[in-house]
Amino acid sequence: MVGKYLDEFYYRAAEGQEETSFHFAAASQGPPNIQHLRDVVWERAQGEATLLRAPLRGEVAQHWRVEWRAVYGSRRMNPFRPTVLPAADWLLLLAAAGIPLSLLWDYSWESTVGIDLPWSPPHTANYLAVTLAGAVGLGQIMKTSRDGVRLGRWRAPLGAWVVVWGALAFVAAFLFDRWWQASYGLAAGIWHPPQLLKAVAFFALEAGAWLAGLQRAEEAVRAPRVAWSAGGLARVASGVLLALIFTVTLAVNFPNRQHGAAFFQIACATYPIVLVAVAMSGRSRFSATAAAFVGMLMVCVMVWLLPLVPGAPLVSPIYHPRDRLLPPPFPPLLFAPALALDALLRVFPKRAAREPGWVQAIEAGLAFFAVFLAVQWPFAKFLLSPGADHRFFAGGGKQWPFFLRIAPSAETAFWKMPGDEFTLSSALIAAGLAVLAARLGLWLGARMRR
């Protein structure tokens, strides 16, 4: 569609004219996107639009006529003012980012202070983030909408449904977890069912935010007035998802475990799902790289900020006395494999145009595995060296939870844990997992692009 027609359309819609019609001359651009026009009419004039697909008499070029009727009267808006993202989107993004950040804070709190009460500051921040996300999602569902996924009598964007589902799952996980911790404590081990459910809830909340961001990005393309930030929303949300993966797999992310099989296998089974889907569905040619930078930055912010906060262990045994909150491990260098994925899937458009399939999955999976291994292997060595014993990298084998009993020689060594040796077979498993993850990412990305 030609821009000036759209502008006028926006203007008239915003005027809230109750019974009117508008003609689009669509000689070379094809029919107008009625879905989008209906959105605009709905948002600007609370009206309903109908597309009448009839060429007007006497016209040579094909014309399209849209009629709409304002239901609730006009809502004056200046159609020429650049549209900003609705507050709900920003709040959802804030909530989504709050989840991994509060979890990293919680890890730091438990590893520094030790007393882990239900209403500790990081826990409270976590509940607030989940509540905020759930409230935004619920608000979107309650807001009468013509489009989106319909469940019962409500229609809402898919992202909103997934976010609300995640919030409900969190409530169940919270209740279950309180009981579990009072009953089993840690005597039964970690990764217990309520914790798994909590992780599922967090991923649902993040995925919902990502879906919401993608939808905004789509709208941004169709409506030039929606600010650039809509496109960034999906990128940031996917970066948040990467940070969440890092957070829930923190146990293997210590530099001392980064020459082990578990680290590479878990990384290969998880990160490519997000990175490949982002590369496939993002508007920019470097969406995956941008998402990787966002994810890394989120963890880095906690690496840099947490040690500024005073905190000391309040419970015995204290094997590593501290007076500042413990930083989490430095994040893996995801931007490198993300760049490779962007190059493979987006920078060469011919390839990207192909229908995604197993060949592409194998290429993408192996590219992720090879680049990640090549970059992270030496970087892990660096993280354990005295050169990384710095606020920036928080490495050098100096940052430990206060309760962890560890031999001094093991602090700067790669841990040889039984079954965790990085051998040819474990490397092949990691590569295979990366291919599977990439295939899933391709499938997701293709669906998201639609």
Binding mask 80-109 for other proteins (x = CB under 8 A): -----------------------x--xx--
Q: Which is nearer to other proteins, 338 or 444 (CB)?
A: 444
**Residue among 162, 212, 294, 438 that touches other proteins (CB under 8 A):** 162
**Residue among 28, 57, 81, 186 that touches other proteins (CB under 8 A):** 186
Residues 374-433 that bind other proteins (CB under 8 A): 401, 403-405
> And the tokens for 27?
């000689």
Residues 193-222 that bind other proteins (CB under 8 A): 193, 195-200
Is residue 114 involved in binding other proteins (CB under 8 A)?
Answer: yes
Name the one residue in this structure whose structure tokens are 């948002």: 43
User: Containing H/E element for 323?
Assistant: none
Helix (H, G, I), strand (E, B) or coil at 260: strand
- Give yes or no for a contact between 279 and 346, defined as CB atoms under 8 angstroms apart: yes
Nearest Cα to 112, choosing from 418, 412, 323? 323
Burial of 186 from C-beta contacts in 10 A (0-12 / 13-18 / 19+): exposed
CB contact set of 184 (below 8 Å; sequence gap of 6+): 192
Rounded distance between C-alpha atoms, residue 213 and residue 435, angstroms: 26
Rounded to 5 degrees, φ, ψ at 288 are -65, -40
Nearest Cα to 370, choosing from 317, 428, 328? 428
Chain CA centroid to CA 130, Å: 14
Give the interface segment with other proteins, choosing from 247-255, 284-292, 418-426, 438-446 (CB under 8 A). Answer: 247-255
Give the interface segment with other proteins, choosing from 44-52, 69-77, 175-183, 380-388 (CB under 8 A). Answer: 175-183
Is residue 57 involved in binding other proteins (CB under 8 A)?
Answer: no
Give the interface segment with other proteins, choosing from 21-29, 187-195, 286-294, 435-443 (CB under 8 A). Answer: 187-195
Single-letter code of the amino acid located at 441: G
End-to-end CA distance of the chain: 20
Rounded distance between C-alpha atoms, residue 263 and residue 404, angstroms: 20
- List helix spans (H) across 249-286: 261-281
Single-letter code of the amino acid located at 117: L
Q: How far is the CB of 427 from other proteins (least distance, A)?
A: 24
Burial of 46 from C-beta contacts in 10 A (0-12 / 13-18 / 19+): middle
Give the interface segment with other proteins, choosing from 87-95, 171-179, 334-342, 371-379 (CB under 8 A). Answer: 171-179
**Residue among 71, 84, 309, 315 that touches other proteins (CB under 8 A):** 315
**Residue among 179, 358, 377, 392 that touches other proteins (CB under 8 A):** 179
Q: Give, to the nearest 10 degrees, the angle between helix 229-248 and helix 87-112.
A: 20
Q: Which is nearer to other proteins, 85 or 201 (CB)?
A: 201
Residues 254-283 that bind other proteins (CB under 8 A): 254
Q: Which is nearer to other proteins, 199 or 233 (CB)?
A: 199
Q: Which is nearer to other proteins, 47 or 208 (CB)?
A: 208
Rg (CA), the chain: 25
Chain CA centroid to CA 284, Å: 16
Using CB under 8 A as the binding criterion, the count of chain residues that bind other proteins stands at: 59
**Residue among 13, 169, 237, 294 that touches other proteins (CB under 8 A):** 169
Give the interface segment with other proteins, choosing from 54-62, 112-120, 361-369, 434-442 (CB under 8 A). Answer: 112-120
Single-letter code of the amino acid located at 222: R
Binding mask 116-155 for other proteins (x = CB under 8 A): x--------------------------------xxx----
Is residue 313 involved in binding other proteins (CB under 8 A)?
Answer: yes
Q: How far is the CB of 123 from other proteins (least distance, A)?
A: 10
- β-strands 149-151, 63-70 pairing: unpaired
Instruction: Point out which residues bind other proteins (CB under 8 A).
Output: 103, 106-107, 110-111, 114-116, 149-151, 158, 161-162, 165, 168-169, 171-172, 175-176, 179-193, 195-200, 247-248, 250-251, 254, 312-319, 401, 403-405
